[in-house]
C-alpha cells in the first residue's frame, strides 16, 4: 500500500473520531457546562462551620459524627479546628475560611477559642483577656459572616483540671482554673453585648461550656470563686480535692473525653432548638429529593436528553 493511501486512511479515521466526539459532547445536555448557584444539581450544600482550637480539631471522633447525624443531608459539618491556635492567631485566617467568591451558605458557625489564650503570662500562647475579648468580637463581626446570615454560637472556653495538668506535665505550669474562668466570663459578657441594641454584627448565642462542665462538677452560680477554704476554690483547682466529674469530662485536664464531647453536643442541640429554631434540622431543606420522589421516575432517571444521566 502506498504511503499516500495510508495517510488518507489515517486522516479519515481521525476525522470520524472527531465528528463522533463532537456529536457526543453536543448531546450531553443533562450535564451543565456552566455551574449556577441556583441549579439544584450545582448548588453546594450549606454548612455548619466549627471554628476553634485543638478542642474543635479533635472533635471528629465524637462531636462531628453526632452533628453530622443530626444534620444529615441538610448541613455539611466543616471542621476548622486549629490545634494550638489562639484567637489572635486564628483571626487572620477568616478570609480563607469565608472566601468572598464562595456561594456556600453557612447558617451556623461556632467560635470556640480561649483555652490557649488563657495561658499564664510568660507562655507563648498567652493573650491578655482584653485582647482576647476584642479579637473574638472582630471574628464574629467579620463582614462576610454577617452578610451571609450566619448565626454564631459563641462557646466559652471550658474549665481546666489542674490535677490532671500537673500529672501530665505538659500544661501544669501554664494554666490555672481561676484564670480560665476570667476568659469564660469575657466570652459571656461579649454574648450579652451582642444581644444589646448597639450591636452591629450577626446574631450570637452563647453556649456556656465552662458553666456546663462546672455544674457537672458540683459548682453552682452561688458558689464563691476565691478565698482560703477548700469549699471556696473552684473545682479543678489543685488546692481543692480532685473532681471526679472533671476527670470524666477532660482527658488530660484540658481536652475533652468522649463523655465531654457528648455533653457538649447535647448542650449545643438544646441551645439551637431553644434559641435558633430556624436552624433546627427539620426546618432546613434537604439536599436532593427524597428517594420516593425519584426512584422509578422515568424523567428523573433518563435526564434531560432521554439517554440517561451517566
Domain 47-283: give its CATH architecture. Answer: 3-Layer(aba) Sandwich (3.40)
pLDDT reported for residue 34? 35
Instruction: Tell me phi and psi for residue 276, to 5 degrees.
Output: -130, 60
Cβ density class 209-247: b for 16+ within 10 Å, e for less: bbbbbbebbebeeeeeeeeeeeeebbbbbbebeebebbb
- Residue 151: enclosing H or E segment and its boundaries? strand 151-155
Q: Considering the chain, what is the average pLDDT of its residues?
A: 84
For the stretch 141-165, pLDDT in tens is: 999 998 889 999 999 999 999 999 9
Mean of the pLDDT values across residues 287-306?
73
> 11: pLDDT confidence band, cut at 50, 70 and 90?
low
Mean of the pLDDT values across residues 70-84?
96
Domain ranges of the chain: 47-283
- Considering only CA atoms, which of 111, 153, 140 is closest in space to residue 267? 153
Dist CA 229 CA 232 (whole Å): 5
pTM exceeds cut of 0.85: no
For the stretch 173-225, pLDDT in tens is: 789 999 999 999 999 999 999 999 999 999 999 999 999 999 999 998 776 54
Rg of the Cα atoms in the chain: 27
For the chain, the farthest-separated pair of C-alpha atoms sits apart, in whole angstroms, at 107
Amino acid at each position: 500500500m502506498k504511503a499516500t493511501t495510508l495517510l488518507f486512511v489515517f486522516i479519515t479515521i481521525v476525522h470520524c473520531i472527531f465528528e463522533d466526539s463532537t456529536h457526543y459532547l453536543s448531546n450531553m445536555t443533562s450535564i451543565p457546562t456552566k455551574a449556577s448557584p441556583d441549579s439544584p444539581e450545582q448548588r453546594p450544600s450549606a454548612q455548619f462551620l466549627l471554628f476553634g482550637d485543638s478542642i474543635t480539631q479533635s472533635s471528629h471522633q465524637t462531636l462531628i459524627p453526632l452533628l453530622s447525624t443530626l444534620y444529615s443531608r441538610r448541613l455539611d459539618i466543616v471542621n476548622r479546628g486549629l490545634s494550638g491556635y489562639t484567637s489572635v492567631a486564628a483571626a487572620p485566617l477568616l478570609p480563607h475560611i469565608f472566601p468572598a467568591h464562595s456561594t456556600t451558605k453557612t447558617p451556623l458557625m461556632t467560635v470556640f477559642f480561649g483555652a490557649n489564650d488563657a495561658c499564664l503570662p510568660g507562655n507563648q500562647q498567652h493573650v491578655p483577656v482584653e485582647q482576647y475579648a476584642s479579637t473574638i468580637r472582630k471574628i464574629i463581626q467579620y463582614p462576610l459572616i454577617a452578610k451571609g446570615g450566619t448565626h454564631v454560637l459563641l462557646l466559652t472556653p471550658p474549665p481546666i483540671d489542674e490535677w490532671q495538668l500537673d500529672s501530665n506535665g505538659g500544661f501544669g505550669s501554664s494554666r490555672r482554673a481561676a484564670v480560665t474562668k476570667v476568659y469564660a466570663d469575657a466570652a459571656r459578657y461579649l454574648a450579652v453585648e451582642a444581644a444589646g441594641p448597639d450591636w452591629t454584627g450577626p446574631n450570637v448565642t452563647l453556649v456556656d461550656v465552662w458553666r456546663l462542665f462546672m455544674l457537672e462538677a458540683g459548682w453552682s452560680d452561688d458558689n464563691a470563686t476565691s478565698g482560703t477554704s477548700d469549699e471556696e476554690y473552684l473545682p479543678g483547682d489543685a488546692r481543692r480535692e480532685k473532681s471526679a466529674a472533671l476527670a470524666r469530662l477532660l482527658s488530660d485536664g484540658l481536652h475533652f473525653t468522649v463523655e465531654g464531647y457528648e455533653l457538649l453536643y447535647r448542650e449545643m442541640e438544646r441551645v439551637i432548638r431553644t434559641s435558633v429554631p430556624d436552624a433546627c434540622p427539620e426546618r432546613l431543606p434537604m439536599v436532593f429529593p427524597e428517594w420516593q420522589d425519584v426512584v422509578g421516575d422515568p424523567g428523573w432517571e433518563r435526564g434531560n436528553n432521554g439517554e440517561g444521566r451517566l
